[in-house]
């Protein structure tokens, strides 16, 4: 089964390598060709456009940074949609809006192809180990057809409903992750300002109901000031914005998510390099050092 993969960033590159290890014939495209060097050495074939990827693939996977990037690779000049073959499947593992997922599904149907929105969770380590989790929106029979492909990259997949359901669950989950990491950053700032070791807080968390896997991973990184991007801050900020956009369309207020986006916005403004979203801790460190109370915090009245 020939597989195409469009987008060779932090997640896409290890996904492509795992497809190759599983024995799939893989064709790739990325906006910056040099990022494809490793997968080309591993046996992938380069395509000169997203359209060429789609034209030669039974399954096409897209994993790009944001809605504009996905729109460009699908509908831009030499976009993938125009190359889709009847009976092929487009699997979008980007994190975008449910509305954009449904639009992509309609475009695929017009070409006689199928579509699944299948955003992922697991971070770069999950992508490297082939242990991603896919949140899928679409038809069960289409998912069954691509399960061998997903199995090369992930450990579990959940069919959550019609097109757009996968994106909806991904946005909801990322809102939770963002809030958890922000809460930990606030708590670390609080105990540090009070003269208590931040390490001791993590010890208590690990033995309490407040323990969460994301905090087990991000907590030590925050103490080490290790903000190498596994899930970039800029993308978490984007996902919070998408969640709030969806909530607005549904007439649903999300005050905690709105407050988190304000803090992530401020944290994003403090850095120039690409950092992980746990670098939100830098915002609280700076606030504590300056003796200032942050605006947009949950405690504001």
Q: Please indicate, yes or no, whether residues 189 and 280 belong to a single structural domain of this protein.
A: yes
Among the listed residues 16, 165, 151, 146, the one whose alpha carbon sits nearest the alpha carbon of residue 89:
146
Q: How far apart are CA 120 and CA 92, in angstroms?
A: 10
Please report whether residue 299 resides in a domain.
no
**Domain of residue 209, residue span:** 168-290
Please report whether residue 27 resides in a domain.
yes
Q: How far apart are CA 293 and CA 283, in angstroms?
A: 11
Q: Please indicate, yes or no, whether residues 239 and 128 belong to a single structural domain of this protein.
A: no
Q: How far apart are CA 239 and CA 272, in angstroms?
A: 19
Given 13, 170, 218, 238, which residue is catalytic? 170
**Which of these three, 162, 181, 209, is where a domain ends?**
162
Please report whether residue 81 resides in a domain.
yes
pLDDT given at position 60: 98
Residue 92 in tokens: 């979008």
8 Å CB contact between 174 and 240: yes
Q: Please indicate, yes or no, whether residues 130 and 202 belong to a single structural domain of this protein.
A: no
Residue in the structure block whose two tokens are 């989950």: 173
pLDDT given at position 294: 42
pLDDT given at position 151: 98
Strand partners, 45: 27
Q: How far apart are CA 72 and CA 82, in angstroms?
A: 12
Q: Please indicate, yes or no, whether residues 17 and 122 belong to a single structural domain of this protein.
A: yes
Among the listed residues 141, 144, 159, 151, the one whose alpha carbon sits nearest the alpha carbon of residue 15:
151
pLDDT given at position 283: 86
Q: Please indicate, yes or no, whether residues 127 and 188 belong to a single structural domain of this protein.
A: no
Residue 113: is its pLDDT beyond 60? yes
Mean pLDDT, residues 219-226: 95
Q: Please indicate, yes or no, whether residues 107 and 196 belong to a single structural domain of this protein.
A: no
pLDDT given at position 284: 74
Strand partners, 133: 121, 156
Task: For residue 268, give the CATH number of its domain.
Answer: 1.10.1040.10
Residue 300: is its pLDDT beyond 90? no
Mean pLDDT, residues 103-109: 98
pLDDT given at position 299: 33
Please report whether residue 229 resides in a domain.
yes
Report the chain's mean pLDDT, rounded to a whole number. Answer: 94
Q: Please indicate, yes or no, whether residues 181 and 134 belong to a single structural domain of this protein.
A: no
**Which of these three, 137, 162, 187, is where a domain ends?**
162
Task: For residue 139, give the CATH number of its domain.
Answer: 3.40.50.720
Please report whether residue 18 resides in a domain.
yes
Number of domains in the chain: 2
pLDDT given at position 298: 33
Sign of CA dihedral 123, 129, 135, 139: positive
Q: Please indicate, yes or no, whether residues 18 and 33 belong to a single structural domain of this protein.
A: yes
Mean pLDDT, residues 180-200: 95
Q: Please indicate, yes or no, whether residues 9 and 93 belong to a single structural domain of this protein.
A: yes
Q: How far apart are CA 123 and CA 240, in angstroms?
A: 17
Q: Please indicate, yes or no, whether residues 98 and 208 belong to a single structural domain of this protein.
A: no
Q: Please indicate, yes or no, whether residues 142 and 269 belong to a single structural domain of this protein.
A: no
Query: Which residues lie closer than 8 Å to 48 by C-beta, 6 or more apart?
Result: 29, 78
Residue 296: is its pLDDT beyond 80? no
pLDDT given at position 301: 24
Please report whether residue 300 resides in a domain.
no
Please report whether residue 135 resides in a domain.
yes
Residues 265-295: tens digit of each pLDDT:
999 998 889 999 999 998 876 665 555 444 4
Please report whether residue 301 resides in a domain.
no
Q: Is 170 a catalytic residue?
A: yes
Q: How far apart are CA 154 and CA 29, in angstroms?
A: 21
Q: Please indicate, yes or no, whether residues 12 and 156 belong to a single structural domain of this protein.
A: yes
Residues 247-263: tens digit of each pLDDT:
999 999 999 999 999 99
Residues 119-128: tens digit of each pLDDT:
999 999 999 9
pLDDT given at position 295: 40
Residues 138-171: tens digit of each pLDDT:
999 999 999 999 999 999 999 999 999 999 999 9
**Which of these three, 162, 189, 204, is where a domain ends?**
162
Residues 3-57: tens digit of each pLDDT:
999 999 999 999 999 999 999 999 999 999 999 999 999 999 999 999 999 999 9
């Amino acid at each position: 089964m020939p597989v195409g993969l469009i987008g060779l960033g932090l997640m896409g590159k290890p996904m492509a390598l795992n497809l190759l290890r599983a024995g799939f014939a893989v064709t790739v495209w990325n906006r910056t060709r040099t990022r494809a060097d490793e997968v080309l050495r591993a046996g992938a074939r380069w395509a000169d456009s997203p359209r060429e990827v789609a034209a030669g693939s039974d399954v096409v996977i897209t994993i790009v940074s944001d809605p504009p990037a996905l729109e460009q690779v699908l509908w831009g000049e030499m976009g993938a949609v125009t190359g889709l073959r009847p009976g092929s499947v487009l699997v979008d593992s980007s994190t975008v809006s449910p509305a954009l997922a449904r639009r992509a599904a309609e475009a695929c149907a017009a070409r006689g192809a199928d579509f699944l929105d299948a955003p992922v969770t697991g971070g770069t380590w999950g992508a490297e180990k082939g242990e991603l989790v896919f949140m899928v929106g679409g038809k069960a029979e289409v998912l069954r057809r691509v399960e061998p492909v997903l199995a090369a990259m992930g450990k579990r997949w959940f069919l959550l409903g019609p097109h757009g359901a996968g994106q909806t669950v991904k946005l909801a989950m990322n809102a939770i992750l963002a809030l958890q990491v922000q809460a930990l950053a606030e708590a670390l700032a609080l105990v540090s300002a009070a003269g208590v070791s931040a390490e001791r807080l993590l010890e208590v968390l690990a033995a309490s109901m407040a323990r969460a896997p994301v905090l087990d991973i991000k907590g030590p990184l925050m103490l080490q000031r290790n903000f190498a991007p596994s899930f970039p801050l800029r993308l978490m900020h984007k996902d919070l914005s998408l969640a709030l956009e969806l909530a607005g369309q549904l007439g649903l207020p999300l005050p905690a998510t709105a407050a988190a986006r304000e803090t992530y916005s401020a944290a994003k403004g403090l850095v120039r390099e690409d950092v992980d979203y746990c670098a939100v801790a830098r915002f609280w460190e700076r606030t504590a050092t300056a003796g200032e109370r942050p605006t947009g915090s949950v405690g504001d009245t």
